Chains A and B, each alone.
Chain A
Amino acid sequence: QKEVEQNSGPLSVPEGAIASLNCTYSDRGSQSFFWYRQYSGKSPELIMSIYSNGDKEDGRFTAQLNKASQYVSLLIRDSQPSDSATYLCAVKANPRNDYKLSFGAGTTVTVRA
Chain B
Amino acid sequence: DAGVIQSPRHEVTEMGQEVTLRCKPISGHDYLFWYRQTMMRGLELLIYFNNNVPIDDSGMPEDRFSAKMPNASFSTLKIQPSEPRDSAVYFCASSFPPQSYSGNTIYFGEGSWLTVV
14 intermolecular pairs with C-beta atoms under 8 Å apart = A34-B103, A43-B91, A43-B108, A49-B103, A49-B105, A92-B103, A95-B99, A96-B100, A98-B98, A99-B48, A99-B50, A99-B95, A102-B45, A103-B44
B106 touches A98 (CB 8 A): no
Q: Which of B42, B50, B98 contacts A105 (CB 8 A)?
A: B42
Contact-size category for B: 20 to 34
Interface centre among B50, B100, B106 (most CB of A within 10 A): B106
Interface Cβ pair total, 8 Å cutoff: 61
Of the candidates A45, A49, A88, the one whose C-beta lies within 8 Å of that of B43 is: A88
Q: CB within 8 Å of A: which residues of B?
A: 31, 33, 42-45, 48, 50, 55-56, 91, 95, 98-106, 108-111
Q: Which of A34, A96, A98 has the largest number of chain B CB atoms within 10 A?
A: A98
Tier of interface size on chain A:
20 to 34
A95 touches B42 (CB 8 A): no
A31 touches B101 (CB 8 A): yes
Contacting pair B56 A98 (CB below 8 A): yes
Which residues of the partner chain B approach A34 to less than 8 Å between Cβ atoms? 103
Complex CA–CA separation, A66 to B99 (angstroms):
22
Residues of chain A having any CB pair with chain B under 8 Å = 31-32, 34, 42-46, 49, 51, 88, 92, 95-106
